[in-house]
Structures are given as structure tokens and as C-alpha cells.
């Protein structure tokens, strides 16, 4: 790893602690998170010359955020591709810093989805409004977001013999990690989970079916929340408060249904080889995989597509409690508790990066011993339809 490029690093992070935040606006969550992420980095608002914003949560995009924060950035990027937006934006920040266009960048997210009672999982593919070309073949049949993922789960089971018990291993491991994360425990309490302790595979199978074959404990929560991170050039990173976490490689990809296509293959199959190639590492070297866990099937397919196991071999790969932070096997999975048991305000890509940084700094509540390498992989859109995949490989200093 000594010869790998270290051109940009994440030097400041903040995760908004509340998952139910009545009386707070999405913009307040974003602004507070940016302030605390800069404080964490030791840098100042005056150092920021690049803003990356998805135009969610009242932010107003890069222009609105600039005005709100009193900044005049020379780079604005408003890439919005769903839950992987922050992995895409991290890739763009790395490119902009390498090109000398930016020196210090901020990414932020804020959402009050729980307080607003936003029905994320029961919404349709293209949202409400006039009919359009994207949904004209499906909307009339009423397919919801969760039904789309359930369709992928059924297909994976049909093709490869995967079972609900196999998928439940993901829920069990992430819940263990959540019980060690005080913010996640409070989230489950505030969102009135029936239990906030560890769960078993049987607990998952006994929970009610939401969209066959996916059970309640295989589905992400809907929460409030947000956060921010600061990405800096090598020169700026060396002056930060804490050791930098270097961005070694990134990959971006798109996927959609097409005749002859396989819905059990995600965009990660395209983005991961790009990221690993740039980083010069292999999947088996990684200590941590922070994978977007909207549902268990999302994680199972993406683990295969990132190269941790071959397509269809997830069911064997998942055995032996391998996803726990204290397992002798790699990689540990979603050590903050994930979208299943910690937070999911609507787009979870930013939190994958935040926990990756915590692990590589040695600051996680489920700390992996001597963690060196991590991947944050976001999935945006519908796994069984139009979606994006963003892969970011990070390394400890």
C-alpha cells in the first residue's frame, strides 16, 4: 500500500445523533453536522472551496447551501443518484482535488423522514404525479419499493437456493452491532421497536412478512437523521486534527432492467472492479464492508457483486457468524447497526462513509481490531430496476 496514491482524505465527520428529531428541520441537521464535521477536522469554513449537495432536505443544492453558509465555493456538484449519491460525490471530490480544482470539500445530508411520516418503502417507483415513460408499464399495477426488492429476493432464491434463514444472518449481525451503539439503541427505542436487544435467525423468520419473502426484521427503519464529512487534499489533510482516512479508489455504475438481464446482479458488479483496480487491493484484504442495507437482499447480492464471494454463493459465505465485528473472518459488516437497526432517513450512503472512517480511526462502538481497509458501497434507486452503485475504498493512514 506504500506506493498507492494518497491525493485526498476524509478528515472530518459528524453523524447527527437523533433518529427522531421533532422540531428540527432537515436544513438545521445539515448545518449543524457541517459545523461539527469541520470542528472535527480542525479546518474552518473559510477553508472550504467545494460543496457537494444532493439538493435534499431544503438545502437548495450547492447554490442554496453556499448562501446559507456564507461561502463562495469554486466547485459545486449536485449529483443526485439516490442512496449512492455520497459515494459518487466522494469520487467527484477526489477527482476535483486531484485536478487542482478544490482543496477542501464538504458533503452533507439531512432528513426528517420519520417526523414527516414519509412512507418510503410503500411508495411506488416513480412517485406520484402524471404518468410518465419511466413507470407507464408498472405504476398501474401498484408495485411498491419493497415489492421490487422482494422480487429480487425471490429470483435469488429460485436461481441459487438461497433461503430466508440465509438472508437473516445479515439482520442478526447488524443488530448485534446496533446493541453496542448507544445512538442506535436510542433510535430503536424512539421508533418503538418491539425489542432493542440482539436477535436470532428464528426471530427474523418469526417476524411478520412485509413483502414475501422479506420479513419485518429484514427491512430498514425509517428515521430522521443526517451528517456531514470533510474531504481535503493531501496538503490540507496533513494539518487536520486527526489522522486522515485516505480515499484509495472509487467506482460508479448504473443498472436497469433489460431483456435478458439478471435482476440478481447489481450495479456493484460494474463499480467494484473499477474501485478495486484504482486502489490496488482485493476484496479479501478488506476488514470492513459498509454496504447499503435497505433490505437484507440488497446486502446479499452486493456482497457477491463486490467480489467477496461468487454470484450465488452468498448462502455459504454467510455461515459461521462471519459478519460480526469480532469474527476471525472478513469482512465485518455494517458495524454501526446499519439501516436495519441504526438509521435510515431515506438515503443512507453518507453513513456508510462515516462508519468506515470511525473504524479506520479506531473510534467505532464495534471496533474491528487493527482495521486497515474498508469499502463503503451505496446503492441508489431500485435494486430490481433502475439503480446506481457507488464504491469507495478507504485506508487508514
pLDDT per residue over 301-343, tens digit each?
999 999 999 999 999 999 989 999 999 999 999 999 999 999 9
pLDDT number for residue 128: 54
Count of alpha carbons within 13 Å of 33, Cβ hemisphere only?
Answer: 30
Q: What is the band of 2 on the pLDDT scale with cuts at 50, 70, 90?
A: very low
pLDDT number for residue 120: 79
For the chain, give the percent of residues with pLDDT over 90.
87
CA dihedral 148, 153, 154, 157 (to 10 degrees): 160
Q: What is the pLDDT of residues 146-205, one digit of tens each?
A: 999 999 999 999 999 999 999 999 999 999 999 999 999 999 999 999 899 999 999 999
> 374: helix, coil or strand?
strand
pLDDT mean over 376-389? 95
Considering only CA atoms, give the Rg of the chain: 20
pLDDT number for residue 140: 73
Question: Cα(124)–Cα(247) distance, rounded to whole angstroms?
Answer: 35
Question: Cα(230)–Cα(21) distance, rounded to whole angstroms?
Answer: 24
> 314: helix, coil or strand?
helix
392 forms beta bridges with 250, 376
> 104: helix, coil or strand?
strand
pLDDT number for residue 303: 98
Q: What is the band of 119 on the pLDDT scale with cuts at 50, 70, 90?
A: confident
For the chain, give the percent of residues with pLDDT over 70.
97
Q: Which secondary-structure segment (H or E) carries 188?
A: helix 182-190
Burial bucket for residue 367 (CB in 10 Å: 0-12, 13-18, 19+) = middle
pLDDT number for residue 285: 97
Q: What is the band of 143 on the pLDDT scale with cuts at 50, 70, 90?
A: confident
pLDDT mean over 23-40? 96
For residue 291, is the peptide bond before it cis, meaning its omega torsion is within 30 degrees of 0?
no
- Grid cell digits, residue 172: 442478526
Question: Cα(315)–Cα(54) distance, rounded to whole angstroms?
Answer: 35
Nearest to 304 by CA among 287, 283, 332: 283
For residue 331, is the peptide bond before it cis, meaning its omega torsion is within 30 degrees of 0?
yes
pLDDT at 127 over 60: no
All structural domains of the chain, each given as residue ranges with its CATH number in brackets, are 8-116+222-396 (3.40.47.10)
pLDDT at 125 over 90: no
| Between 322 and 57, residue with greater pLDDT | 322
pLDDT number for residue 133: 79
Whose cell is 457507488? That residue is 390
Q: What is the pLDDT of residues 236-268, one digit of tens each?
A: 999 899 999 999 999 999 999 889 999 999 999
Question: Cα(84)–Cα(86) distance, rounded to whole angstroms?
Answer: 6
Mean pLDDT of the chain: 94
At residue 123, φ and ψ (nearest 5 deg) are: -80, 160
Q: Which secondary-structure segment (H or E) carries 289?
A: strand 288-291
pLDDT mean over 364-371? 97
pLDDT number for residue 1: 47
Q: What are the C-alpha distances in Å from 205 to residues 164, 212, 271, 289?
A: 7, 12, 32, 24
Question: Cα(98)–Cα(235) distance, rounded to whole angstroms?
Answer: 12
Q: What is the DSSP string of 76-99?
A: EE---BTBTHHHHHHHHHHHHHHT
- Grid cell digits, residue 106: 464538504
Amino acid at each position: 500500500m506504500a506506493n498507492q496514491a494518497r491525493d485526498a482524505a476524509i478528515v472530518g465527520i459528524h453523524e447527527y445523533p437523533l433518529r427522531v428529531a421533532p422540531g428540527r428541520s432537515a436544513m438545521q441537521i445539515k448545518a449543524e453536522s457541517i459545523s461539527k464535521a469541520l470542528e472535527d477536522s480542525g479546518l474552518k469554513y473559510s477553508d472550504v472551496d467545494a460543496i457537494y449537495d444532493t439538493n435534499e432536505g431544503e438545502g437548495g443544492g450547492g447554490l442554496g447551501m453556499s448562501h446559507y453558509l456564507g461561502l463562495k465555493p469554486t466547485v459545486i456538484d449536485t449529483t443526485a443518484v439516490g442512496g449512492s449519491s455520497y459515494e459518487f460525490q466522494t469520487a467527484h471530490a477526489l477527482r476535483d482535488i486531484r485536478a487542482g480544482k478544490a482543496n477542501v470539500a464538504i458533503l452533507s445530508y439531512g432528513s426528517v423522514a420519520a417526523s414527516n411520516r414519509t412512507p418510503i418503502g410503500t411508495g411506488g417507483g416513480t412517485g406520484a404525479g402524471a404518468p410518465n415513460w419511466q413507470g407507464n408499464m408498472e405504476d398501474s399495477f401498484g408495485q411498491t419499493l419493497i415489492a421490487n426488492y422482494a422480487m429480487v429476493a425471490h429470483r435469488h432464491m429460485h436461481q441459487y437456493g438461497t433461503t430466508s434463514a440465509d438472508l437473516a444472518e445479515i439482520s442478526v449481525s447488524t443488530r448485534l452491532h446496533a446493541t453496542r451503539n448507544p445512538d442506535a439503541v436510542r433510535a430503536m427505542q424512539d421508533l418503538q421497536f418491539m425489542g432493542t436487544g440482539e436477535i436470532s435467525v428464528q426471530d427474523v423468520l418469526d417476524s411478520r412478512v412485509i413483502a414475501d419473502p422479506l420479513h419485518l426484521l429484514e427491512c430498514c427503519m425509517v428515521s430522521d437523521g443526517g451528517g456531514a464529512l470533510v474531504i481535503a487534499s493531501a496538503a490540507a489533510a496533513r494539518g487536520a486534527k486527526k489522522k486522515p482516512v485516505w480515499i484509495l479508489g472509487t467506482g460508479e455504475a448504473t443498472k436497469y432492467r433489460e431483456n435478458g438481464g439478471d435482476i440478481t446482479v447489481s450495479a456493484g458488479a460494474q463499480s467494484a472492479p473499477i474501485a478495486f483496480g484504482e486502489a490496488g487491493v482485493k476484496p479479501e484484504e478488506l476488514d470492513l464492508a459498509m454496504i447499503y442495507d435497505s433490505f437484507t437482499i440488497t446486502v446479499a447480492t452486493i456482497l457477491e457483486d463486490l467480489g467477496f464471494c461468487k454470484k450465488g454463493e452468498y448462502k455459504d459465505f454467510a455461515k459461521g457468524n462471519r459478519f460480526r465485528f469480532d469474527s476471525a473472518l472478513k469482512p465485518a459488516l455494517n458495524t454501526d447497526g446499519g439501516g436495519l437497526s441504526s438509521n435510515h432517513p431515506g438515503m443512507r450512503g453518507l453513513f456508510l462513509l462515516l462508519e468506515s472512517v470511525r473504524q479506520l480511526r479506531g473510534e467505532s462502538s464495534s471496533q474491528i481490531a487493527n482495521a486497515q481497509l474498508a469499502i463503503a458501497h451505496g446503492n441508489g434507486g431500485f435494486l430490481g430496476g433502475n439503480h446506481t452503485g457507488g464504491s469507495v475504498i478507504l485506508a487508514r493512514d
